[in-house]
Chain A
Amino acid sequence: MAIITYRQAIKDALAEEITRDESVFMMGEEVAQYNGAYKVTEGLWERFGDKRLVDAPISEAGFIGLGIGAAMMGLRPVIEMMFFSFVYVAWDQAVNNASSIRYMSGGLINIPLVIRGPANGGTNVGATHSHTPENMVANFPGLKVVAPCTAADAKGLMKAAIRDNDPVFVMESTILYGEESEVPDDPDFIIPLGKADIKRAGTDLTIVGHGRSVLVALKAAKELKDKHGIDAEVVDLRSIRPLDEATILKSVKKTNRVLVVDENKPYCGVGAQISHLVQRKAFDYLDGPVHRLSAVDAPAIYSPPLEKIQLPSDRDIIREVELMFNINA
């Protein structure tokens, strides 16, 4: 086990897969010579050269489409979005073409494509740069989407995504790039898509999240224990589609209370799907309604102290749990 950053873990995954499989190449803005806007690909161009690390002009629709076409031909392109917010200029390629071609061809074609990059708020870059489109991507049958929150998950999921034969969107976080955690050394360490992870075991309440929200939930869980003796179980979805329903339901059946936390906007957010799942398949186990925390329902505000309020915090989680447990704090 090595302790490395989330950034390094992704880089290692990319390097290992580029080494392992000749059909893997990376393309995006500033990924090669500049070493990546967020340094995720630092050193890779030097190591692997122009063919495997390709700097593209600011033409997302062009190069995401290119990625789909190349994937149709059996290559395994990994396309970087400098910010996931920029995927919208290529929305037709990314969601319409990538999701439909296999289906429309009656299964004759498949698209082993990865689109990866940061999708998070909290860095004061304003409404146009702070989108978390995992819920929208998940709405397209044919697409897969994952959102790792630790270095190990980032590495294992990235490798699984690259080896997968369908289009996989990997949602990262600029806030997490510098976070360190343990990662297994095994070059074939893989985390299957569609496998959730219990990041903290508990008995009183299930907190379900994905991406950075999981870390926020873990922080809150610690305080809930210290302050109120409430033992929260934190379920990290890791993969949003495919979704590990079994792990969620098992946890809910044990704790009988659920709080869903995510950075998505509430309307049709990932949390809405989880909430539906729980009421539909574990209704009789619930001691109360499913609660949900999301970003405040407005475009991302720039003003730094206000953006902090807009996104769900550990304070918000604690407050919500206090409400669920009728604690007057």
Chain B
Amino acid sequence: MTTKKTAKKTPAKKKPAAKSAEKSAPAASRSSKAAAPYADAPINQALTNDDKIAALVSMVRIRKFEQAALQAYQKGKMGGFLHLYIGQEATAVGTVGQLGDDDHVITAYRDHGHALVVGMSMNECMAELYGKYTGCSKGKGGSMHYFAPDKNYWGGHGIVGGQIPLGLGIAYALKYKGKKGCCFAFMGDGAVNQGPVHEAMNLAGLWDIPVIFVIENNKYSMGTSQERSSVYPKEGLAARADAYNIVWDQISGENLYEVRAKTRVAMERAHNESRPTVLEIATYRYYGHSIADANHQKYRTKEEILEYQQKRDPIMVWERYLKEEGVLTDEQAKEIDKKAKEEAKDAVRFAEESPFPPKEEILRDVYHSVDNPGTHSNEGEIFFNDRLPWN
């Protein structure tokens, strides 16, 4: 019981993140023009009308892409898993959407949203799902393993929590190189119970690493509610950061303004003080854990799903704000929806028409030394196939 008290008290004592966010919180009451909470935060004030529309487009593109992917999956066009991000779009757009040249991203297997926001094309993403050569990873990684290092996007990782130390390392490298950047390391609410996550947090707190740990709390890890997997779920998973002397904050993932505002505070902390932050974003996935999770209405109620879909949908909420601000019309919204749908349809066509990788590709990209002959001092055999199936 005493532990519980401390756990509750400590975050309240040092909550600079929450405090700085508070500054922008009463925005609604201060300004009659911008009714939405956190619209007054400087980073949101800086948004032009076009920027706001672009953010909407970004969220809608994720949704349409995934709806098209789901259809293709159901037609048997791809294998393996498909974890949909639908319902969580404001998180990727509000965080990754603020990436500067020296800011980086790494995430788990629910990775399509972040990928589209960094600027990966629907074509390469869809083709990857199809296992095609034109996919972002040449068809080698699949849904869970998207990569685009040229866009500071370091994957797409399938092992729960496994990407978090990597995110720490990316941020470590930024600091090492003297860059004023940060790395967003995304994970789910279930991932916080992996040991490497905690080791990474301790190292980040200990060594002043500019990493932003983002917990996308969609309330469930597969069929397990956070109440069944974590102690003190109500106090917030982010509060664990106290143990590592890391500032933390909680964010409502249905309000893009709030995601942006609080993320900005964390980014500035990383850029200016080289200090980590833990952000916990409350969000929801509308579909099952993956398409295979047909039982997702058993561990959560229909009412709960509907509540999020009908009242707290991040795209709907954002559209409402923009309409209230006079930035968006119904026609424009429809047009955005239609365009994204067409783009997704084109991506499906692109994926369908693309070739599979040639079989020799199985043995490429295993070793840098093999792919770049003459550049390493290597001798001896490195592959051990007595005979290849195609020889």
Task: Show the binding face of A for B, using Cβ within 8 Å.
Answer: 29-30, 33-34, 37, 55, 57-59, 61-62, 85-86, 88-89, 123-129, 265-267, 291-294, 296-299, 301-307, 309-310, 312-313, 315-316, 319-320, 323
- Beta-carbon contact of A55 and B386 below 8 Å: no
Q: Which residues in A have their C-beta under 8 angstroms from that of B131?
A: 124, 302-306
B325 within 8 A of A: no
In the complex, whether B334 has a CB less than 8 A from a CB of chain A is: no
Return chain A residues, CB-CB under 8 Å to B137: 302
A59 touches B194 (CB 8 A): yes
Which residues on B sit within 8 Å (CB–CB) of A313?
389
The 4 closest A-B pairs by CB, nearest first: A124-B79, A303-B131, A302-B142, A34-B223
With A30-B222, A34-B295, A126-B80 already in contact, the answer to whether A59 and B145 are too (CB < 8 A) is no
Q: Is the CB of B385 within 8 A of A58?
A: no
Q: Contact: A128 with B158, CB < 8 Å?
A: yes
Question: A315 to nearest B CB, angstroms?
Answer: 8
Of B22-30, B316-324, B355-363, the stretch lying at the interface with chain A is B355-363
Partner of A55, one of B224, B356, B384: B224
Q: Which residues of B contact A89 (CB under 8 A)?
A: 159-162, 194-196
CA A305 – CA B191 in complex, angstroms? 32
Binding site for A on B (CB under 8 A): 78-81, 131-132, 137, 139-142, 144-145, 157-162, 190-191, 193-196, 221-224, 228-230, 295, 299, 356-357, 359, 361-363, 366, 383-390
**Contact in complex: B386, A57 (CB < 8 Å):** no
Contact residues in B for A303 (Cβ distance below 8 Å): 131-132, 139-140, 142, 356-357
Chain A: minimal CB distance from B81 (Å): 6
Contact across chains for B224 and A124 when beta carbons are under 8 A apart? no
The smallest C-beta distance from B232 to any residue of chain A, in angstroms, reads 13
Contact A128 B363 (CB under 8 A): no
Residue of A nearest to B298 (CB): A34
**Do A301 and B221 touch across chains, with their CB atoms under 8 A apart?**
no
Q: How far is the CB of A219 from chain B (nearest CB, A)?
A: 16
- Is A302's CB under 8 angstroms from B140's CB? yes
Scoring A57, A85, A294, A303 by chain B CB atoms within 10 A of each residue's CB, the highest score goes to A303
From known contacts A126-B144, A267-B384, infer whether A37 and B362 are also in contact, taking CB-CB under 8 Å.
Answer: no
Given contacts A33-B299, A57-B193, A58-B190, A304 and B79 within 8 Å (CB-CB) = yes
Residues of chain A within 8 A (CB-CB) of B385 are 266, 294, 296-297
Flag if B224 contacts A301 (CB, 8 Å): no
Q: Is the CB of B229 within 8 A of A58?
A: yes
Q: Are A124 and B80 in contact (CB under 8 A)?
A: yes
Contacts A59-B194, A304-B131: A298 and B359 contacting too (C-beta < 8 A)? Answer: no
Contact of B222 among A29, A61, A85, A292 (CB under 8 A): A29
Say yes or no: B363 contacts A34, CB within 8 Å: no
Chain B residue nearest to A320 in the complex (CB): B387
How far, in whole Å, are A79 and B11 apart by their CA atoms in the complex? 36
The minimal Cβ–Cβ distance linking A38 to chain B, given in whole angstroms, is 10
How many angstroms from the CA of A316 to the CA of B78 in the assembled complex? 24
Q: A125-B79, A128-B145, A303-B139 are in contact. List 13 more A-B contacts (CB 8 A).
A: A57-B229, A58-B191, A62-B193, A124-B79, A126-B144, A128-B162, A293-B386, A297-B363, A298-B363, A302-B139, A306-B359, A309-B359, A323-B387
CB-CB < 8 A to B141: which residues of A? 126-127, 302
A125, B81: Cβ atoms under 8 Å?
yes
B285 CB to closest chain A CB (Å) equals: 16
15 A-B contacts, Cβ less than 8 Å apart? A55-B224, A61-B195, A124-B78, A124-B131, A125-B142, A128-B157, A128-B158, A296-B363, A297-B366, A299-B366, A302-B142, A303-B142, A304-B78, A306-B361, A313-B389
Measured CB to CB, the nearest residue on chain A to B359 is A309
Q: What residues of chain B lie closer than 8 Å to A58, measured between beta carbons?
A: 160-161, 190-191, 193-194, 221, 229
* Among A85, A125, A299, residue most surrounded by chain B Cβ atoms (within 10 Å): A125
A53 to B81 Cα, complex, angstroms: 26
| Known contacts A34-B222, A57-B190, A304-B79; is-contact A85 B159 (Cβ 8 Å) | yes
Q: Considering residues A34, A127, A302, which has the most beta carbons from chain B within 10 angstroms of its beta carbon?
A: A302
Q: Which A residue's beta carbon lies closest to that of B223? A: A34
B70 to chain A, nearest CB (A): 16
- Answer whether A298 and B362 are a contact pair too, CB < 8 Å, given A30-B222, A89-B161: yes
CB distance from A251 to the nearest CB of B (A): 21
Cβ contact within 8 Å between B223 and A33: yes
Which residue of B has the minimal Cβ distance to A59?
B193
**Complexed CA–CA distance, A145 and B255 (Å):** 51
Q: Closest A residue to B196 by CB, please name it.
A: A89
Given contacts A30-B223, A296-B388, A297-B384, whether A306 and B193 have CB atoms under 8 Å apart is no
Docked complex Cα distance between A129 and B387 (Å): 25
Task: Specify which chain A residues have a CB less than 8 angstroms from the CB of B80 in the assembled complex.
Answer: 123-126, 129, 302, 304
- Distance between Cα atoms of A294 and B383 in the complex (Å): 12
Q: Assess the B356–A34 pair: CB atoms within 8 A.
A: no
Q: Which B residue's beta carbon lies closest to that of A289?
A: B386
Report how far A319 CA is from B386 CA in the complex, Å: 13
Query: Given the complex of chains A and B, what is the CA–CA distance between A226 and B356 in angstroms?
Result: 33
Contacts of A306 in B (CB 8 A): 131, 139, 356-357, 359, 361-362
Closest A residue to B222 by CB, please name it: A30
Q: How far apart sit A216 and B60, CA to CA, in the bound complex (Å)?
A: 46
Task: Please give me the residue from chain A that is nearest to B76 by CB atom.
Answer: A304
Closest to B81 in A: A125
User: Are A127's CB and B145's CB within 8 A?
Assistant: yes
What chain A residues lie within 8 Å of B160 (beta carbons)?
58, 86, 89
Kindly list chain B residues whose C-beta atoms are within 8 Å of the C-beta of A62: 193, 195
Given A55-B224, A89-B196, A301-B362, A296-B389 contact (CB < 8 Å): yes
Which residues of chain B are near A298, meaning CB under 8 Å? 362-363, 366, 383
Q: How far is the CB of B353 from chain A (nearest CB, A)?
A: 16
A328 to chain B, nearest CB (A): 16
Chain A nearest CB, measured from B147 CB (Å): 12
Do residues B144 and A128 form an inter-chain contact, with CB atoms below 8 A? yes
> Which of B191, B222, B361 meets A37, CB within 8 Å?
B222
Closest CB-CB distance, A96 to chain B, in whole Å? 15
Question: Could you say which residues of chain B place their CB within 8 Å of the CB of A293?
Answer: 386
Cα A175 to Cα B223 with chains together (Å): 22
Q: How far is the CB of B374 from chain A (nearest CB, A)?
A: 21
